């Protein structure tokens, strides 16, 4: 019969999809170097022993063809993607961009890449984004997750190596890396108390944030210093700090503990406008020590947190988790009080 042609009729994809430059594959390299695919793979991964001459031929072919292995194919064959997912509440917040910066540097040293997602401060989408990240990554870093405990638990149950930054959830068997907000705020309170302050206003941070909870916990511990604390709802931005000016003045406090440096700087600006002298009439403290804290007038008393440190420690911890190291302990990083001009005696 004349129709003894093979059953497979469709053209290969490269020909179909309209002449785009077709991908150079490992097979192309093998052909060019007159070697087998396996050999090319071995050269690529430095595995086993390959005759130096052959290896050089392969490397040459790779160079000439401009070959780059497909990440997807490698991922599929190896069973891991070589990527790590990071979920943050707000990429624009320097606290988190610092974290990502050092974390991804650390990941890079281990040969991994970082896929970033931003929940936009919406705890409702965190779960979904985290699950999505799991599809792409071999491990996950959740930075300051605000999601309910139960959802965190569900994520842990997925079996993907998971590390949490700045949140603790006792009884959940999750490894965490945290900044010691509690001790930091305690130090701040001690400092203010020593200066003679008794009535203190606290400009609270975001609802549901562990960082804020820890500060509040320290504040109630601060009764020991003889401080009387008024909590004022505020937030985490400069604008919110600026807006809190009048409320602060009304509170009749002699010192203000702001949620963070942004809030403090915003408030400082408002106070200056209002003609309230700092620290003459009112002492002011921040938290997190952003770069600009030293450069305000007066310079801001604040608490320095290990900025790069968090990312690096997180990188190490997650790497060990991913290596199957089960018993990783949670870490709490120490902070440091920075006394500057914005706080003074009563």
Q: Which residues bind DNA (CB under 7 A)?
A: 7-10, 12-14, 22-23, 25-27, 34-39, 41-42, 44-45, 47-51, 54, 67-70, 73-74, 76-79
Query: Which of the listed partners (a copy of itself, DNA, none) does 26 bind, with a CB threshold of 5 to 8 Å by partner kind?
Result: DNA
Q: Is residue 138 classed as helix, strand or coil in its secondary structure?
A: coil
| 21 lies in the site for a copy of itself, by CB under 8 A | yes
Q: Which of 206, 84, 69 is nearest to 145 (CA)?
A: 206
* DSSP symbols for 287-331: SB--GGGGGSSSPPBEEE--HHHHHHHHHHHHHHHHTT---PPPE
Of 300, 291, 230, nearest in space to 268 by CA = 300
Residue with tokens 């170097």: 33
Instruction: Return the residue matching tokens 């190896």.
Output: 78
Residue 225 as a binder of a copy of itself (CB under 8 A): the answer is no
Binding residue for a copy of itself (CB under 8 A) from 182, 202, 259, 262?
262
DSSP bridge partners of 201:
230, 256
Residue 104 binds which entry of a copy of itself, DNA, none, with Cβ cut-offs from 5 to 8 Å by kind? a copy of itself
Residue 37 binds which of DNA, a copy of itself, none (CB < 5-8 A, kind-dependent): DNA
The partner in contact with residue 207, picked from DNA, a copy of itself, none with C-beta cut-offs of 5 to 8 angstroms by kind, is: none
Pick from 19, 46, 52, 66 the residue near a copy of itself by CB under 8 A.
66
For the bound state, the minimum distance from the C-beta of residue 227 to DNA, rounded and expressed in Å, comes to 56
C-beta pairs of 76-83 under 8 Å, 24+ apart in sequence: 80/138, 81/136, 81/137, 81/138, 82/111, 82/112, 82/113, 82/138, 83/112, 83/113, 83/114, 83/115, 83/136, 83/137, 83/138
Contact residues for a copy of itself, defined by CB under 8 A: 13, 20-21, 66, 68-73, 75-76, 79, 81, 83, 90-92, 94, 97-98, 100-101, 104-105, 108, 113-118, 120, 131-132, 134-136, 158-159, 237-239, 242, 262, 265-266, 268-269, 272, 291-292, 294-297
């Amino acid at each position: 019969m004349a129709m003894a042609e093979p059953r497979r009729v469709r053209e290969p994809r490269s020909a179909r999809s309209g002449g785009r430059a077709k991908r150079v594959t490992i097979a192309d390299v093998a052909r060019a170097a007159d070697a087998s695919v396996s050999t090319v793979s071995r050269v690529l991964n430095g595995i086993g022993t390959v005759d130096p001459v052959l290896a050089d031929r392969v490397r040459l072919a790779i160079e000439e063809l401009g070959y780059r292995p497909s990440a997807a194919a490698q991922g599929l064959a190896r069973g891991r993607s070589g990527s790590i997912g990071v979920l943050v509440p707000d990429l624009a917040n320097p606290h988190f961009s610092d974290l990502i910066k050092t974390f991804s540097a650390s990941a890079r040293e281990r040969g991994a890449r970082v896929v970033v997602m931003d929940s936009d401060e919406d705890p409702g989408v965190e779960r979904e984004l985290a699950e999505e990240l799991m599809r792409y990554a071999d491990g996950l870093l959740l930075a300051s997750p605000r999601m309910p405990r139960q959802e965190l638990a569900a994520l842990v149950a997925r079996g993907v190596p998971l590390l949490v930054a700045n949140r603790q959830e006792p009884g959940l068997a999750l490894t965490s890396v945290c900044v010691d907000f509690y001790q930091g705020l305690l130090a701040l309170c001690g400092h203010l108390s020593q200066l003679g302050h008794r009535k203190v206003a606290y400009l609270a941070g975001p609802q549901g944030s562990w960082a804020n909870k820890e500060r509040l916990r320290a504040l109630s511990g601060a009764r020991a210093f003889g401080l009387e604390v008024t909590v004022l709802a505020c937030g985490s931005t400069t604008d919110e700090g600026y807006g809190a000016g009048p409320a602060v003045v009304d509170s009749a406090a002699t010192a203000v503990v702001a949620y963070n440096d942004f809030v403090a700087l915003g408030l400082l600006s408002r106070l200056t406008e209002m003609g309230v002298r700092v620290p003459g009439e009112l002492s002011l403290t921040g938290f997190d020590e952003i770069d600009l804290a030293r450069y305000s007038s007066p310079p801001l008393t604040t608490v320095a947190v290990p900025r790069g440190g968090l990312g690096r420690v997180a990188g190490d911890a997650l790497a060990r988790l991913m290596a199957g190291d089960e018993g990783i302990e949670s870490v709490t990083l120490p902070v440091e009080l920075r006394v500057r001009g914005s706080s003074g005696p009563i």
